[in-house]
Amino acid sequence: MTEPAALREVLVACIGNPDCGDDGIGSLVAQELERQLPSHAPLIVRRGDMLALAEDFAGFNAVVCVDAAAPMDTPGRIHRIDLTSEELPRELSATSTHGFGLAEAIELVRALNRAPRTIVIYAVEGACFDVGAVMTQAVAASAEETARLVAGEAERLIASLDRTSGPASA
Amino acid sequence: MASKTIKVDYLARVEGEGALDLEFTDGRVTSARLKIFEPPRFFEAFLRGRSYTELPDIVARICGICPIAYQMGSVHAAEQAFGVSVDGQLRALRRLIYCGEWISSHTLHVAMLHAPDFLGFPDAIQMARDHGDLVRNALTLKKAGNELMRVLGGREIHPVSVKAGGFHRVPTRAELAPMTETLKRARDIAVELVRWTAGLPFPNFEQDYEFVALRHRDEYPLNEGRLVSNRGINIEIADYDSEFEERHVEHSTALHSVVKQRGAYQVGPLARYALNSDRLPQHIQGLAAEAGLGPVCRNPFKSIIVRAVETAYACEEALRIIGEYEPPAAAAVAFTPREGTGFGCTEAPRGICWHRYEFEADGTIRRARIVPPTSQNQPCIESDLAAVAGGMVDRPDDEIRHRCEQAIRNYDPCISCSTHFLKLSIRRS
């Protein structure tokens, strides 16, 4: 039986360098998601090369991203940002150790007309992004809850896309 | 006395944290400084006391863009110290993974960091709106380089398979086979990229550089060769200190390297090409000629063309190696460490990256020294800045600033792996 096309149209992208303290939250959430994510929602982990996201996003209707957010006042706090209706707030802009961060990657895919219709970001506030630093306890503790939220988001998006497009194998 | 200062507090579209200070007095440039203020990272110090087995994984962290360069320099040095020879398919695989790094690094710089300078865009995102095909193709090309590093190194950022003696694991033919179609497509894109860069508007600017690069007896240099220059240097890599020295300067946390007898020298694509263009395959030489390059190019702004030519070559070389690949019997040559000193020098995308290590009898690192390409290019960059700015002292500050930033980016400086914003302040008196 052909798998409905809509079931392949949600990508989950976990972002961040696990060697840089709280920047590793994306990788940690990805480990949790391997057990929780619907099998037909592809999961990718990007540790540094954000430019690759522009290629990764191509061909998907929806993307759910997990990344670390710049320090504010509550390490481990989870922010959900739906870029369909909101901009990525500058003060939350996920940190990056390279020339291109998540915000720039999203801007780039939009400029190239490759942007998915829906992009939802789960940004986890970090505290320390030093090379070799241990992840802040509160940030690490948020991984399980973040994964639960992301898995739920992916399931909702898949269901919503199914309703919109109907079964492709019909 | 009329004087003014042009400052760029944070350089954009370079890897790392640096700034530019230009001072003019009575209509001439009195100071041109590339200031590197990123804190020292002490890699050489914390390598002391670590085992040679940790070496490639530690030095890979020096750079997220060119980790292979650091890994290769370190393992070559260890092998030299321990009397190990890595030949045949293992040597070819090292060249192959290095091709991946060249493709990825050069494409990033050509299309995403440097091209916006020539087209008048503030960044690649703005450029992508008008030059979508260029950026889409560049992303495909860069991805091919990343993929090559992933297949051979386990992952594209800080690969984990390189070790002294060879690799922890080598690919099967079946694992490499899908790369052939990917690389053919990448080669075609790279060839088009050469033609596209050749059509960019270039300032009429040349300098009489001392170029320094590796030169191999029959290959365009990546991993091996003698250190040569167009002014007579021709030495073993172990004799680096006989011709070159590193100096502290007040305005930079990175050491400046100079030729002892003459001063500034240039490493990187222009130097490699000038000293080795005859080592490129005929059709790549033809492609370079079609793009308007002679056997030597002294216009640093045209380094963007040379990078594109080297990208096309790296795709071609990777295809050759994959076509001839037979998995070696063992992933690494067996050896026993011994006390000694070893040297490694390879051609990172930005130029020669020189290593020297002293080892204890059990392979523990007693001393380490690494000379990266950007520190070698700093005096040359400052010389270019003085000449570029000196030729446009009557132009508006913004125009001078833009041209000087572009002149710095000619070198694809890799100060480290970080991002930053651009601020400009001007002082007149």
Residues 11-70 of B with CB under 8 A from A: 13, 15, 61, 64
The three-state DSSP-derived secondary structure of A69-105 is ECCCCCCCCEEEEECCCCCCCHHHCCCCCCCCCHHHH
Q: pLDDT tens digit string along B308-358?
A: 999 999 999 999 999 999 999 999 999 999 999 999 999 999 999 999 999
Sequence letter at residue B199: G
In this predicted structure, what is the pLDDT of residue A89? 66
Confidence of residue A87 (pLDDT cuts 50, 70, 90): confident
pLDDT at residue B422, rounded to an integer: 24
* Chain B environment of A52 (Cβ under 8 Å): 139, 142-143, 146, 156
State pLDDT tens for residues B352-380. Answer: 999 999 999 999 999 999 998 988 998 99
Q: Indicate whether A16 belongs to any domain.
A: yes
- Give domain status of residue A110, yes or no: yes
Task: For residue A86, give its domain range.
Answer: 5-163
For residue A84, which amino acid is it?
T
* Nearest-CB residue to A98 (from B64, B140, B142): B64
Distance of alpha carbon B146 from alpha carbon A46, whole angstroms: 12
B410: which DSSP letter? T
Q: Output the pTM of the full model.
A: 0.89
- Of B62 and A44, the one with more pLDDT: A44
Query: For B73-96, what is each residue's pLDDT tens digit?
Result: 999 999 999 999 999 999 999 999
Distance, in Å, from the CA atom of B312 to the CA atom of B93, rounded to the nearest integer, reads 18
Of B288 and A20, more confident: B288
Nearest-CA residue of chain B relative to A20?
B61
Facing residue for A112 by CB, picked from B128, B142, B419: B128
Chain B residues whose beta carbon lies within 8 Å of the beta carbon of residue A57: none
* CATH, residue A108: 3.40.50.1450
Residue A168, domain member (yes or no): no
Q: Counting Cβ atoms within 10 Å, is residue A58 exposed (0-12), middle (13-18) or buried (19+)?
A: middle
Residue B419: its pLDDT value, please? Answer: 24
Is A170 among the domain residues?
A: no
Share of chain B above pLDDT 90, in %: 71
> Residue A105: closest CA among chain B residues belongs to which residue?
B125
Tell me what pLDDT residue B10 has.
Answer: 65
B237 pLDDT more than 80: yes
Distance CA B271, CA B288 (A): 15
**pLDDT range class, residue A36, cuts 50, 70, 90:** confident
Residue B412: per-residue pLDDT:
84
B188: three-class secondary structure by DSSP? helix
Q: Which of B66, B182, B419 to mutate to test the interface with A (most CBs of A within 10 A)?
A: B419
User: Does the pLDDT at position B418 exceed 60?
Assistant: no
Who has greater pLDDT, B51 or A19?
B51
CB atoms within 10 A of CB B373: 25
Cα A39 from Cα A24, distance rounded (Å): 23
Over residues B269-296, the mean pLDDT reads: 97
Interface with chain B: mutation pick from A20, A27, A51, highest number of B CBs within 10 Å: A51
Scanning B329-368 for CB atoms below 8 A from A yields none
Segment A96-134, tens digit of pLDDT: 444 567 888 888 999 998 889 999 999 999 999 887 889
pLDDT over 60 at B300, yes or no: yes
Task: Give the count of alpha carbons within 13 A of B152, CB side only.
Answer: 29
Partner residue opposite A111 with nearest CB, options B15, B125, B146: B125
- CATH code, B43-376: 1.10.645.10
d(CA A55, CA B145): 13
Under a CB-based contact definition with an 8 Å cutoff, are residues B44 and B30 in contact? Answer: no
**Does the pLDDT at position A28 exceed 90?**
yes
Q: How far apart are CA A133 and CA A129, in angstroms?
A: 7
Would you state the pLDDT for residue A137?
96
Give pLDDT, residue B1: 60
**Whether B108 contacts chain A with CB within 8 A:** yes
Name the DSSP class of B351: E
Which residue from B151, B127, B149 is spatially nearest to B138, judged by alpha carbons?
B127
Q: What is the pLDDT of residue B255?
A: 79
Q: Which is it for strands A118-125 and A78-82: parallel, antiparallel or unpaired?
A: antiparallel
Degrees to nearest 5, angle at CA B247 with B242 and B251: 160
Torsion of CA B71, B76, B77, B82, to 10 degrees: 130
| Confidence at residue A90, expressed as pLDDT on a 0 to 100 scale | 57
In a domain, A69, yes or no: yes
Q: Give residue B416's pLDDT.
A: 44
Closest to B346 in 3D by CA, of B234, B229, B254, B227: B227
Q: Range with the lowest mean pLDDT among A49-53, B235-239, B276-280, B386-390?
A: A49-53
- Model confidence at A169: pLDDT above 90: no
The reply to whether A71 falls in a domain is yes
Tell me whether residues A111 and B143 touch, CB distance under 8 A: no
Q: Please provide the average confidence, as pLDDT, over all residues in chain B.
A: 90
In total, the C-beta contacts within 8 angstroms joining chain A to chain B are 64
Closest CA in chain B for residue A106: B125
Residues of each domain in chain B carrying CATH 1.10.645.10: 43-376
Given a cut of 90, whether residue B68 has pLDDT beyond it is yes
Task: For residue range B134-189, list pLDDT tens digits in order.
Answer: 999 999 999 999 999 999 998 777 888 999 999 999 999 999 999 999 999 999 99
Inform me whether the pLDDT recorded for B428 exceeds 70: no
Count of domains for chain A: 1
Cα A50 from chain centroid (whole Å): 12
pLDDT of residue B345: 97
Contact between chains at A111 and B129 (C-beta distance less than 8 A): yes
Closest CA–CA distance from residue B219 to any residue of chain A (Å): 30
Categorize the per-residue pLDDT at B401 as very low, low, confident or very high, splitting at 50, 70 and 90.
Answer: confident
Is A169 part of a structural domain of the chain?
no
Task: For residue A49, list chain B residues with Cβ-Cβ distance below 8 A.
Answer: 64, 146, 156-157
Is 80 exceeded by the pLDDT of residue A59? Answer: yes
Q: In the predicted model, is pLDDT for residue B199 greater than 60? A: yes
**Quick check: B126 contacting A, CB < 8 Å?**
yes
CB B75 within 8 A of CB B56: yes
